[in-house]
Structure 1
Amino acid sequence: MKIPLLLLFALLSVVAPPAKPAKTGTPAAGAPAAVTLSKKTLQDKIKGGWAGQVIGCTFGGPTEFRFNGTMMNDYQPIPWYEGYVKKTMIDNPGLYDDLYMDLTFVDVFEKKGLDAPVSEHANAYANAGYMLWHANQAGRYNLLNGMKAPESGHWLNNPHADDIDFQIEADFSGLMSPGMPNTAVQIGDPIGHIMNYGDGWYGGAYVGALYSLAFVSNDINYVVNEALKTIPTQSTFYQCIADVINWHKQFPNDWKRNWFEIQRKWADEVGCPEGVFYPFDIDAKINSAYIVLGLLYGGGDFTKTMEISTRAGQDSDCNPSSAGGVLGTLLGYDKIPAYWKQGLQDAEDIDFKYTTMSLNDVYSMGMKHALQVIERNGGKINGDQVTIARQTPKTVRLEQSFPGHHPVLVTGIRKDLENEYSFNFEGIGFVVKGAAQPKNRGSSNSNPVGSESSFAFNAELYIDGKKIETAKLPVNFTHRRYDLFWKYQLPKGKHTVRIKLLNPDSEHVVRLNEVLVYNDQPVKSKL
């Protein structure tokens, strides 16, 4: 998940009966309270989980956000060949944000122990050298400017709270918690709220539970259904995934029909300002729907799972990475088809960028952490045998981002802020999109030119004549404020917004791109 490419939106409409809430799977009668695995099997599954992520990320990398609001046609080939993983890790190491973000938190557990406070994870993530986007960058900015988790991920402070970010980073929590989905969710909870909230957090909680359950079941349908029990039924995340499960029952041999139903019902973006009114959709639930689409219609077949989760589009490297990791855990490393592991061994000693850890390091570290978590949660280690105190999933608390907020208008500004800029709107909230940047840089928020600059603008925000904040707007790409200004939960009505630049600079500029407006009721189509 990195840089969006906005494409023309194709309106898709398929008429079908509304899906009923899914009846999630339950453990088989007499399911054991404990599961015993050999250490060799446990290590094999941990390796499969990490390797599956790398395979999926590599496979989907070339298609990432190139198919927005549409699926990839069957006739379009996706490359895979001997040496491809190693080549990609060397030539395009930034692709693996799915992995090196995960490893930030794994490294903290390794150095600070399993009881490391969330502040340790937040500091490591905020001060890491990698570039970030969306909820991750918004959370990082909040941390660097004095805000702490969980406020840093809350939707009032982070317009990207429902984005996919923690979903692609939560693999570690499930791989540390074999057969213990509640523990996986608990481990991920404080970390996920560094950058996300609501559906954005649920995406990571669900993925963590998927991994955890994949250790103790060979039935992917059971894993998908059982993991959903961790998510509140009232949440839109639950409702979206429940729909995918039910549509799979209704159209068991037609993943594309399911895809159309997902698009018809769940493609309207509310949070991410870059996705509202555009085909680009980085929302956690719809991308998680594509993970589930691949897992269910793949039916345990690694190739089908990779193909479907990738061809569904949108964040099509992160989604097959998650699906591949979950299925790799279920199958184990040794049972991942040789076709998908070709050349992988040559890449397993390469450190991921921004880390000092390779896949082989992570395999070992992951085993160490899993054994520690097993023991402290009622499990036992007896020689070569590992007994896991299996958990029945419990539902977490309900939280939803942007309640009662409906995007109704986006208006282009497309000018540089010289001293002041004002605009009027009618509604209950707004987001001003743009960037602080060197004057020689383009207008895209995804262009890292100027990362080395330490200059920061200071700007005041006034709403209806009242000063709301003085914001720091760094030019440095890793320190930038991802969206310039925003405010939600305003009284319904007409408002005036004024932005005042306190320190104009001859070498840098604040570029105002668009303003997004929210109201308490959605726009009604005339169709």
Structure 2
Amino acid sequence: MKKLLLVPLLTLLAFSRTAGDAAVRPPASAPKKAITLAKATLQDKIKGGWAGQVIGCTFGGPTEFRYTGTMLNDYQPIPWYDGYIKKTMIENFGLYDDIYMDLTFVDVFEKKGLDAPVSEHASAYATAGYMLWHANQAGRYNLLNGMKAPDSGHWLNNPHADDIDFQIEADFSGLMAPGMPNTAVQIGDPIGHIMNYGDGWYGGAYVGAMYALAFTSSDVNYVVNEGLKVIPQQSTFYQCIADVIKWHRQYPTDWKRTWFEVQQKWADEVGCPDGVFQSFNIDAKLNSAYIVLGLLYGGGDFTKTMQISTRAGQDSDCNPASAGGILGTMLGYANIPAYWKMGLAEAEDIDFKYTTMSLNDVYALGMKHALQVVARNGGSVNGDQVTIVPQTPKPVRLEQAFTGHYPRSVTGINKDLTDEYSFDFEGNGFVLKGEAKPKNRSSWQYENPFAFTAELFIDGQKVETAKLPAGFTARRHDLFWKYQLTPGKHTVRVRLLNPDADHVVRIGDLMVYGDKPLKIKY
């Protein structure tokens, strides 16, 4: 999203930490032979991918972020019944941000072609009427205020760059590229960098690669391991998922033991200001670990996969959505158990909110786009047969966000900004959380046209003038932030240029970073 950064010492340390786990990645294999599928089989797998995603999202919806830093116990029921999907699509449509973001990009490919520039995708999602959060909303704000991708997703401009966002909406890339994980990553690369960077991008690359591989393999272990080859071994994302694979081998029948190992080693949040110092964690690699947990311990069983990826907690609608979509692609629509397709048919003609597209629409478009991608990548379509040239995954470039930044403190400010606010801190970065909003909450609007203008000064120098919209869809997710400051003492001043009688800027928490990790000794 932002300008490129050097990733020196932290990257080297991260690499050395997992040198002993390098065996998780098998050596590159020889070029693979072409694979031929019947058109009906390919269509069934595409349907299975989209349907599996909707099933997982719906099933995990009631648990989303209600279990943070813990798991759902086995005795806690999660509802599922005939008519549940339709009811949720109509009454709780905001749950499906996974889907309507995916469909935004599918729609651009359909209207503008497979070579549509990233600016078309960026514009479509930035100006859509749907609600967004975290990296998606931060990226949208950046685009609406003149920044272009990939700067809009870079961690210097987006404090949520490592969040889960592209991971939950990258399904389209793998479903367009059957058997071709490198092509899936290539399709998703510019789009993923609209809102994410580093581990946040890797989450989408990994999910897209696993979808692609699920077309040509019925082995969950193979898909999980082979898909990870698209991620650089030096990255923290790779190291986290490699650990899950390793622990699964150590504790093959105990997913909860692996969950505890993940929690112990990988649950510390660094980037997202809403998760640092909280049990809440929307980091891509942690939630991807829960996807892999469901896939590996589910062993190809749809029910086990749904239950485990949901009961792992955190973003527990998105994680079973990804796991369900990948497994649904592998199994095919016809082989998803009838229990999980209960009531699905009556929902397949309903347009997802904020779109003009239903599941039946995307089944057809998904097939159309997949055939186009197959033909572009050495494959062919002959009558009812589709020949795919499968790819051996190759690692993408190394990106790491928040290098050299370690959370040091969080302080609740909790006051209204009426004219100016100043604070001192010692460190190399900060995030000032808060929101602009109407004073009368009943007059709150998604598209409130009012926006404050505020200036940011650091050590007496003005470094930014920013708009702070009061409308939800245009809002700035965090008020101000700055990274890569010279370690030491700094003075920050925020000045409001246009106070308004009907609106207010509410300052929340101040989060401070240092250049060295804080370790509590006990």
Q: Secondary structure at the match of 1:21?
A: helix
CA distance in 1, matches of 2:157, 2:90: 36
The 8 Å contact of residues 53 and 320 in structure 1, kept in 2 or not, is answered as yes
Equivalent residues of 2:24, 2:246 under 8 A apart: no
Separation of aligned partners in 2, 1:119 and 1:515? 34
Aligned partner of residue 206 in structure 1, secondary structure: helix
Cα distance change of structure 1 residues 380 and 441 upon mapping to structure 2, 3 Å threshold:
same
C-alpha deviation, 1:25, in angstroms: 5.8
Residue number in structure 2 paired with 1:434: 434
Q: Secondary structure at the match of 1:494?
A: strand
1:509-520 matches, cutoff 5 A: 509-520=504-515
Query: Is the CA contact 1:55–1:321 (under 8 Å) kept in the aligned structure 2?
Result: yes
Where 1:394 maps in the other structure, the secondary structure is coil
Aligned position for 1:274: 274
CA displacement at 1:26 relative to structure 2 = 4.8
In the aligned structure 2, how far is the partner of 1:329 from the partner of 1:273?
35
Whole-angstrom distance in 2 between the partners of 1:318 and 1:361: 22
Distance across 1 between alignment mates of 2:514 and 2:368: 50
Is 2:147 aligned against 1:147? yes
Q: Which amino acid aligns with 1:137?
A: Q
Alignment match of 1:508 (pick from 478, 500, 503)? 503
2:466 paired residue number = 471
Q: Which residue of 2 aligns with 1:120?
A: 120
Alignment of 1:60-71 (within 5 A): 60-71=60-71
Q: CA deviation at 1:501?
A: 0.5
Distance 1:329 1:25, change over 3 A: farther
Contact 1:22-1:243 within 8 A present in 2 as well: no
Q: Does 1:357 align with 2:352?
A: no
Pairwise CA distance, 1:21:
1.7
Q: Equivalent residue for 2:9? A: none
2-structure distance, mates of 1:52, 1:514 = 38
Contact 1:19 1:247 in 2 (8 A): no
SS at structure 2 position matched to 1:425: strand
- Structure 2: runs of 5 or more not aligned: 1-16
- Rounded to whole Å, the distance in 2 between the matches of 1:349 and 1:18 is 48
* Kept in 1: contact 2:161–2:198 (CA 8 A): yes
Give the alignment's TM-score, normalised by structure 1. 0.94
Say whether residues 1:298 and 2:298 are aligned partners.
yes
Equivalent position to 2:519, from 497, 514, 524: 524
Give the superposition deviation at 1:87: 1.0
| Aligned-pair CA distance for 1:450 | 2.9
Counterpart residue identity of residue 439, structure 2: K
Residue matched to 1:55: 55
Equivalent AA in structure 1 for residue 505 of structure 2: V
Query: What SS does structure 2 have at the residue aligned with 1:65?
Result: coil
Shift of 1:522: 1.1
CA distance in 2, matches of 1:133, 1:44: 32
TM-score w.r.t. the length of structure 2 is: 0.95
Q: Is the 8 A contact 1:405 1:521 kept in 2?
A: yes
Q: Does 1:462 align with 2:454?
A: no
Distance 1:410 1:337 in 2: 47
Q: In the aligned structure 1, how far is the partner of 2:78 from the partner of 2:260? A: 22
Deviation at 1:89, TM superposition (A): 0.8
Question: 2:233 is matched with which residue?
Answer: 233
Structure 2 CA distance for partners of 1:29 and 1:242, relative to 1, 3 Å? closer
Aligned to 1:213: 213
Q: Which amino acid aligns with 2:55?
A: I
Superposition deviation, residue 452 in structure 1:
3.5
Q: Which runs of 5+ in 1 are unaligned?
A: 1-16, 443-447
Amino acid at match of 1:475: A
- Rounded Cα–Cα distance in structure 2 between residues aligned with 1:203 and 1:30: 26
- How far apart are 1:441 and its partner, in Å? 3.2
Determine if contact 2:167/2:204 at 8 Å carries over to the other structure. yes
The CA distance in 2 between the partners of 1:459 and 1:20, in whole Å, is 50
Alignment of 1:403-422 (within 5 A): 403-422=403-422
What SS is found at the alignment partner of 1:339?
coil
The answer as to whether partners of 1:280 and 1:314 remain within 8 angstroms in 2 is yes
Cα contact 2:31–2:391 (8 A) shared by 1 = no
SS at match of 2:81: coil
Q: Residues 96-135 of structure 1: matches in 2 within 5 Å?
A: 96-135=96-135
Structure 2 residue 450 is the aligned partner of structure 1 residue 491: no
Equivalent position SS for 2:391: coil
- Structure 2 CA distance for partners of 1:313 and 1:24, relative to 1, 3 Å: same
Deviations 1:404-436 (A, max 9, x none): 000000001000001000000000000000000
TM-superposition CA deviations, 1:256-311 (whole Å, max 9, x none)? 00000000000000000000000000000000000000000000000000000000
